[in-house]
Amino acid sequence: MKRIALAVMAVGLVGLVTPDVQASRCLAQDDLAGRSLRLGGAGGGAPEARLWVARYPLVPAGSVSVENIQGDIEVEGWDRAEVQVAVIKKAAGPAANPDDVHIDVESRERRLVLRTVYPGQSDASVRVDYRLRVPRQVRLERLRTVDGSIKVKQIEGSVDARTLNGNIEQMNVSGSVVARAINGNIAVSLRALPEAPARVQLDTVNGHLFLSLPSQANADLQLSTVAGRVDSRYTFTVSDVPGDTTWRTRLGRGGTVVRLRTIRGDIRVTENEELL
Q: Is residue 144 part of a domain?
A: no
Segment 182-202, tens digit of pLDDT: 999 999 999 999 988 999 999
- pTM attached to this predicted model: 0.84
Element at 24 (helix H, strand E): helix 19-29
Q: Is residue 125 part of a domain?
A: yes
Closest by CA to 161, choosing from 30, 50, 67, is 67
270 and 169 share a domain?
Answer: yes
Q: Is residue 143 part of a domain?
A: no
71 and 186 share a domain?
Answer: no
Rg for the chain, CA atoms, rounded: 20
Residue-level pLDDT, tens digit, the chain, 276 residues: 444 333 332 222 222 233 333 333 333 323 334 555 666 555 555 568 999 999 999 999 999 999 999 999 999 999 999 999 999 999 987 778 899 999 999 999 999 999 999 987 665 689 999 999 999 999 999 999 999 999 999 999 999 999 999 999 999 999 999 999 999 999 999 999 998 899 999 999 999 999 999 999 999 999 999 999 999 999 999 888 887 889 999 999 999 999 999 999 999 999 986 544
**Phi (first) and psi of residue 119, to 5 degrees:** -75, 135
1 and 125 share a domain?
Answer: yes
The domain boundary, picked from 112, 137, 162, lies at 137
7 and 110 share a domain?
Answer: yes
pLDDT at 77: 98
The domain boundary, picked from 86, 108, 137, lies at 137
Q: First vs last Cα of the chain: how many Å apart?
A: 46
Segment 19-42, tens digit of pLDDT: 333 333 333 323 334 555 666 555
124 and 159 share a domain?
Answer: no
101 and 125 share a domain?
Answer: yes
Q: Is residue 142 part of a domain?
A: no
175 and 239 share a domain?
Answer: yes
116 and 157 share a domain?
Answer: no
86 and 61 share a domain?
Answer: yes
98 and 169 share a domain?
Answer: no
Q: Is residue 90 part of a domain?
A: yes
Distances (CA, A) of 134 to 36, 78, 103, 139, 179: 20, 6, 18, 10, 19
Domain containing 74: what range?
Answer: 1-137
The domain boundary, picked from 70, 102, 137, lies at 137
Domain count within the chain: 2
Closest by CA to 48, choosing from 56, 36, 65, is 36
2 and 124 share a domain?
Answer: yes
93 and 114 share a domain?
Answer: yes
